Amino acid sequence: MERAADRAAAAYNLASDEFDVAPLALWGHAGRRTVEGLGLAPGNRVLDVCCGTGSTAVPAAEAVGQFGSVLGVDVSERLLALAAARAAEKGLANIQFRCADLADLRFPKASCDAVICQFGIFHFADMVAATKLLWSLVAPGGALAITTWGPRVHEPARGAFWAAVRARRPDLEARSRPTRQVGTAERLAQVFRDAGAEAAEVASEEITQPLEDADQFWRTLMGSGSRAVIEALAEDAAAVRDEVAGFIARAKVRQLATTVLYGVARRPGPTVAPGRARP
């Protein structure tokens, strides 16, 4: 049976051609905010799981400086190539990328000052187990940041997309919309608690972005995890695309509204003094 990680790799390798379409720029915005929320210090060691093109890994590398280090891990080779190019463009020598499934990572416990997983936790069938694994890698004084989607993602256009998918392939919605299992601040806080990270704090942010037209929205879907749904729709994809375009025209959709959830859990203990390298 094909593993979820292999499905994700295939979908995101395809999505890499549209990964930076304008409405998806919110990955960069959320990435900067996620890194700010961690309060990283120079010298920190950071692990970024599901790092994609480096939305969080790159600002984290800038924050930890030359004595710090960032390892970005993802299953999509093409997204990792874009991430490496972005890091090289910025002249960052303290960042590395590895193509691997989180489940196969053999990383020493308590070895990271910060662990980040942005818009990735819903890719794991057992999100609590994945969070538990990530939490176990956090050293005393360190933190785990999980950033994910709230109840709205590029609405109202994405709702119209799912309605059109549901009408043709109801099986795809159940299989492809795991973000909903974690899509409220309460549920995200519960995932942290169930994973043993008791005192996690979850903040939410409402983001509104301009939408040019239906074509731009379709490219937004093609550049995201929804690419897997579009591929699975096969010959039904054209009808879904037309239906969504009709909705965007009729409802005069000119904006996309998204809620982003930022969860951070901190492990008690001494923090690394700013400016000091780890031994």
Ligand X SMILES: C[S@@+](CC[C@H](N)C(=O)[O-])C[C@H]1O[C@@H](n2cnc3c(N)ncnc32)[C@H](O)[C@@H]1O
Q: Which residues bind ligand X (CB under 6 A)?
A: 5, 8-9, 12, 27, 31, 49-53, 55-56, 73-76, 79, 101-102, 118-120, 123, 225
Nearer to ligand X, 98 or 254 (CB): 98
CB of 252 to ligand X, least distance (A): 28
Residue 213 phi, psi (nearest 5):
-165, 180
Helix (H, G, I), strand (E, B) or coil at 58: helix
CB of 167 to ligand X, least distance (A): 25
Helix (H, G, I), strand (E, B) or coil at 100: coil
CB of 137 to ligand X, least distance (A): 14
Nearer to ligand X, 225 or 263 (CB): 225
Handedness of CA 123, 17, 159, 189 (dihedral sign): positive
Nearer to ligand X, 172 or 272 (CB): 172
CB of 119 to ligand X, least distance (A): 4
Integer CA distances (angstroms), 235 to 5, 12, 220, 239, 244, in order: 25, 20, 19, 8, 16
Sequence letter at residue 177: R
Q: Which residues of 7-19 are buried (b: 16+ CB within 10 A; e: fewer)?
A: bbbbbbbbbbebb
Nearer to ligand X, 1 or 250 (CB): 1
Nearer to ligand X, 97 or 247 (CB): 97
CB of 266 to ligand X, least distance (A): 21
